[in-house]
């Protein structure tokens, strides 16, 4: 079965916003085993939307449209779909009630145009919107199944999870089962090489790799007559991936992030953590602090951008800075040790490097970063060479630091070994 | 004149990457005064790409294709374009030499398939690639002008700026002139209301608003027979915007960010800056540190997530924390004052708030954030109520903090007044 995406919105055509809905929907559909050959963006214009919709209905079994369900005059996705499919618009009472309730809960009043959102093409299957006022719609026509979703990601995503995934799973009459294996500390090209043979002979399950900053995700997807069989098909593949990547796999749970896995590991071992950052300038702390409830283990961190700050807040020796420079293995080591003592944490990560664009030399080029991790008296330091612009180098350094924290905690507390990976 | 975008890449169809190229190209084309009605994503597949390309060539004057110019077998954009346009592929000697030089500079060897990148459709205008090996191409056919660009944004964007913008400007035989007015400290809906009348009566120049986290950008674009006339058309509109938004406009230079404007202001007044962060957890420092050369004015910062850390590193009084709580006007004030003293900076910003999803109460709900800025003995504190998830609340707080830093420095050193805005 194949699916086609149509994202409706003038703001997409003007480049005012990035089309994250397309990426979200495409990834979800791929995970459901649906093939997608085309994505189209079109404005809030009846004629052009009709044209695009007719083409998509000829080519695809399922067409997912996002955007244009709102209350304003500009929003005409529903009306256009109704016209193309020869359906009348009719008032949907439960949607009207839901809109009334939405505004009552917010202690505010619906404006006249809000009721437009309760007018739906006849024969619509309604998808409730728990995060906004525009309901979603599934419309089955002779040619294709049409799925209409609201544009805001905060409304589209939960609606897709709750209402569309079960519908598509039943529609494909195939049970789809997928699992994501998340890897850190292994470069993208190396990871791809390590699974090339598996990808080449894949049919069912399929194996796809996704590069994320400092990480690689491998998704294994199987389909079968029932869920149990599909789940069974996945097992040996995931097992083989575990064999190949060993401890570099930080999770097989799609919702767990790298920073979450570090935090969970620290919590499980009763450890507090801290960060001392130079070139990343707070980005490492910021990623950890994005985890709800991090206050249990993260109390404070420092950004020590100047040499003086490195000495004052972390106790880095003047002689070290003079002899080796701020960007050196020795400075990184003293930063991590000092952070552990002065910020009173069991685990301390330190980052110092040259993020560019200026400041590089032939000996210490832009992209050179030293990352240290101190765990209970033992400090591990690594040298990295990152590519890209200032922002990319800093992002890469943050991921590498999280990866190193994870490794050091595991080595110290779980006595595991790391071998096959690379930085 | 109208333009259509075709982004080629299986990774886009799978949702492995977000289509930032489409947003970039769309925004640039809009700034050049070109209308864009359709964007399409298609995989590396000859038949489907041909189909999409033919449709686009029928509808548009200019078709911009991105992706699929690389050296592998999968990359077939050039070959498909040549077939559709009835052109032969031929070796382009200067491109071959450029590829040789690229690898010589990197002290590495081109592989056999790299030479595929020097094979171009006959009659190609070549766009040099200074950031990779695949040259870009402009191909003028009877039906449409085709522009082929490499997929990686780091190659596509400079190539577009250097080679495509001048070409399109000449092609439209219209001089396009645009200016972006960037505003902080004024909410999106309020900013839109403030220019609604101007937008409604716009023809030339056109006025478009773009919401960015914590900011609003207004772009004014005029076209005329020559650049001077176009520039003249813009002037009164920009002047009117300056009248309406006053000091809330932080720049009219499209390349200046809010953090850069704060840093420039601090530099101009010979001030050092620091940050003391609770709920933003390093994000404010990280944004400042993303500015190259920030080390002149930013030396250090702290993340004080726990109450103990607020006391120890910032000297916040125990009694203040007990009486008012960590998320309070008084705590924010003491954090900023303390940061200024203990981190030895002229300007200190402090952020404390409830980012959620847990930790909210009826009196102090999720989204409540206090931001303080201390400038030479005077501390200004503001209360904010932000919406969204944990990450969005933290992003909004960072922008508000930058905006407040800018305001406080301006009020103290330039004696300007702020009036019409809102937080």
The answer to whether the Cβ–Cβ distance between A391 and B293 falls below 8 Å is no
The answer to whether the Cβ–Cβ distance between A305 and B295 falls below 8 Å is yes
In the DSSP assignment, the letter for residue A135 is P
The interface predicted TM-score of the complex, written ipTM, equals: 0.80
Q: Which of A86, A89, A168 is nearest to A127 (CA)?
A: A168
At what angle are helices A77-85 and A46-59 packed, to 10 degrees? 60
The answer to whether the Cβ–Cβ distance between A289 and B279 falls below 8 Å is yes
In the DSSP assignment, the letter for residue B359 is -
A-chain residue closest to B216, CA distance: A16
Report the number of secondary-structure helices (H) and strands (E) in chain B.
15, 17
How far apart, in whole angstroms, are the C-alpha atoms of residue A103 and residue A317?
61
- In this complex, the residue of A19, A286, A300 whose CB is nearest that of residue B286 is A286
What is the per-residue pLDDT for A115?
A: 81
What is the per-residue pLDDT for A421?
A: 44
Contact A421, A248 (CB under 8 A): yes
DSSP string, A325-377: -SSSHHHHHHHHHHHHHHTT-SEEEEEEE--SSS---SSS-TTEEEEEEEETT
The answer to whether the Cβ–Cβ distance between B290 and A394 falls below 8 Å is yes
Counting one residue from A and one from B, how many pairs have CB atoms under 8 Å apart?
221
- Tokens standing for residue B419: 């009036």
Mean pLDDT, rounded, for A85-110: 84
What is the per-residue pLDDT for B419?
A: 67
Mutate to test the interface with A, among B2, B4, B7, B26 (most CBs of A within 10 A): B26
Mean pLDDT, rounded, for A274-280: 97
Mutate to test the interface with B, among A5, A7, A8, A13 (most CBs of B within 10 A): A13
Kindly list the residues from chain A whose CB atom is less than 8 angstroms away from the CB atom of residue B215.
none
A247-275 pLDDT, tens digit per residue, is 999 999 988 999 999 999 999 999 999 99
Kindly list the residues from chain A whose CB atom is less than 8 angstroms away from the CB atom of residue B292.
356-358, 390
> How many angstroms away from the CA of A319 is the closest CA of chain B?
20
- Tokens standing for residue A128: 């409730």
How far apart, in whole angstroms, are the C-alpha atoms of residue A173 and residue B412?
68
Summary mean pLDDT of chain A = 91
Per-residue HEC secondary structure of A188-251 comes to HHHHHHHHHHHHHCCCCCEEEEEEECCEEEEEEEEEECCHHHHHHHHHHHHHHHHHHHHHHEEE
- Spell out the per-residue pLDDT of chain B, length 423, in tens: 899 999 999 889 988 889 999 999 998 998 887 889 999 999 989 999 999 999 999 999 999 999 999 877 778 999 999 999 999 999 999 988 888 887 777 667 777 777 888 899 999 999 998 888 889 999 999 889 999 999 988 889 999 999 999 999 888 777 778 899 999 998 877 888 899 899 888 888 988 887 777 888 898 988 888 878 989 999 999 999 999 999 999 999 988 999 999 999 999 999 999 999 999 999 999 999 999 999 999 999 999 999 999 999 999 999 999 999 999 999 999 999 999 999 999 999 999 999 988 999 999 999 999 999 999 889 999 999 988 789 889 999 999 999 999 999 999 988 888 864 443
Place of tokens 């790299």: B114
Contact A46, A73 (CB under 8 A): no
Kindly list the residues from chain A whose CB atom is less than 8 angstroms away from the CB atom of residue B43.
37
What is the per-residue pLDDT for B106?
A: 66
Kindly list the residues from chain A whose CB atom is less than 8 angstroms away from the CB atom of residue B154.
388-389
What is the three-class DSSP state of B66? strand
The answer to whether the Cβ–Cβ distance between B36 and A13 falls below 8 Å is yes
How far apart, in whole angstroms, are the C-alpha atoms of residue A330 and residue A310?
12
Kindly list the residues from chain B whose CB atom is less than 8 angstroms away from the CB atom of residue A188.
none
Report the number of secondary-structure helices (H) and strands (E) in chain A.
15, 17
How far apart, in whole angstroms, are the C-alpha atoms of residue B420 and residue A366?
44
How far apart, in whole angstroms, are the C-alpha atoms of residue A374 and residue B320?
34
A-chain residue closest to B276, CA distance: A302
- In this complex, the residue of A19, A40, A299 whose CB is nearest that of residue B38 is A40
> How many angstroms away from the CA of A417 is the closest CA of chain B?
31
Contact B339, B314 (CB under 8 A): yes
- In this complex, the residue of A19, A299, A390 whose CB is nearest that of residue B292 is A390
Kindly list the residues from chain B whose CB atom is less than 8 angstroms away from the CB atom of residue A22.
12, 15, 18-19, 41
Q: Which of B85, B3, B21, B12 is nearest to B50 (CA)?
A: B85
In the DSSP assignment, the letter for residue A95 is H
A-chain residue closest to B12, CA distance: A23
Higher pLDDT, B389 or A76: A76
A-chain residue closest to B314, CA distance: A300
How far apart, in whole angstroms, are the C-alpha atoms of residue B369 and residue B364?
9
Per-residue HEC secondary structure of A53-87 comes to HHHHHHHCCEEEEECCCCCCCCCCHHHHHHHHHCC
- Tokens standing for residue B363: 């009196």
- Tokens standing for residue A243: 């064999």
A170-222 pLDDT, tens digit per residue, is 887 777 788 999 999 988 778 888 998 998 888 889 888 877 778 888 989 88
Exposure of B361 by Cβ count < 10 A (0-12 exposed, 13-18 middle, 19+ buried)?
exposed
Strand order in the sheet with A347-353: A378-385, A368-375, A347-353, A273-277, A300-304, B300-304, B273-277, B347-353, B368-375, B378-385
* C-alpha neighbours within 13 Å on the C-beta side of residue A191: 27
A-chain residue closest to B3, CA distance: A13
The answer to whether the Cβ–Cβ distance between B302 and A299 falls below 8 Å is no
Mutate to test the interface with A, among B8, B35, B41, B207 (most CBs of A within 10 A): B41
- Tokens standing for residue B156: 């596509």
The answer to whether the Cβ–Cβ distance between B30 and A23 falls below 8 Å is no
What is the three-class DSSP state of B20? helix
What is the per-residue pLDDT for A423?
A: 38
* C-alpha neighbours within 13 Å on the C-beta side of residue A124: 27
How far apart, in whole angstroms, are the C-alpha atoms of residue A226 and residue A224?
5
DSSP string, B326-358: SSSHHHHHHHHHHHHHHTT-SEEEEEEE---SS
Contact A332, A352 (CB under 8 A): yes
- In this complex, the residue of A45, A48, A358 whose CB is nearest that of residue B293 is A358
Exposure of B42 by Cβ count < 10 A (0-12 exposed, 13-18 middle, 19+ buried)?
buried
B344-376 pLDDT, tens digit per residue, is 999 999 999 999 889 999 999 999 999 999 998
A-chain residue closest to B358, CA distance: A292
Q: What are φ and ψ of residue B126, in 5° steps?
A: -100, 135
What is the per-residue pLDDT for A248?
A: 95
The answer to whether the Cβ–Cβ distance between A303 and B300 falls below 8 Å is yes
Q: How many of the other CB atoms lie within 10 Å of CB of A40?
A: 25
């Amino acid at each position: 079965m194949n699916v086609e995406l149509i994202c409706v919105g003038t703001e997409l055509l003007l480049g005012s916003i990035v089309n994250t809905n397309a990426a979200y929907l495409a990834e979800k559909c791929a995970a459901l085993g649906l093939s997608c050959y085309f994505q189209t963006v079109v404005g809030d214009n009846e004629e052009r939307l009709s044209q695009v919709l007719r083409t998509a209905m000829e080519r695809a079994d399922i067409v997912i449209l996002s955007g244009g369900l709102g209350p304003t005059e500009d929003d005409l996705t529903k009306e256009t779909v109704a016209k193309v499919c020869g359906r009348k618009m009719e008032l949907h009472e439960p949607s009207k009630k839901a809109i009334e309730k939405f505004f009552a809960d917010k202690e505010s009043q619906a404006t006249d145009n809000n009721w437009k959102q309760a007018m739906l093409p006849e024969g619509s299957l309604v998808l409730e919107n728990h995060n906004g006022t525009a309901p979603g719609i599934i419309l089955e026509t002779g040619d294709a199944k049409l799925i209409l979703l609201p544009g805001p990601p905060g409304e589209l995503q939960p609606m897709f999870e709750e209402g569309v995934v079960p519908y598509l799973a039943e529609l494909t009459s195939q049970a789809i089962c997928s699992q994501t294996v998340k890897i850190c500390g292994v470069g993208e090209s190396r990871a791809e090489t390590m699974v090339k043979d598996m990808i080449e002979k894949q049919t069912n399950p399929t194996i796809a790799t996704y590069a994320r900053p400092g990480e690689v995700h491998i998704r294994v997807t199987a389909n079968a007559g029932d869920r149990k069989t599909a789940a069974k098909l996945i097992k040996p593949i995931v097992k083989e991936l575990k064999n190949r990547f060993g401890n570099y796999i930080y999770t097989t749970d799609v919702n767990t992030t790298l920073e979450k896995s570090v935090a969970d590991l620290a919590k499980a071992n009763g450890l507090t953590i801290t960060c001392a950052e130079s070139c990343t300038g707070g980005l490492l702390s910021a990623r950890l602090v994005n985890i709800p409830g991090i206050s249990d283990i993260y109390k404070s961190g420092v950004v020590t951008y100047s040499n003086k700050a490195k000495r004052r807040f972390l106790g880095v020796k003047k002689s070290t800075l003079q002899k080796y420079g701020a960007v050196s293995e020795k400075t990184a080591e003293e930063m991590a040790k000092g952070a552990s003592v002065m910020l009173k944490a069991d685990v301390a990560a330190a980052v110092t490097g040259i993020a560019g664009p200026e400041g590089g030399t032939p000996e210490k080029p832009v992209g050179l970063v030293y990352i240290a991790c101190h765990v209970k008296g033992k400090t591990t330091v690594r040298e990295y060479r990152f590519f890209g612009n200032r922002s990319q180098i800093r992002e890469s350094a943050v991921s590498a630091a999280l990866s190193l924290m994870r490794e050091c905690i595991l080595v110290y507390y779980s006595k595991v070994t790391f071998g096959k990976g690379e930085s």
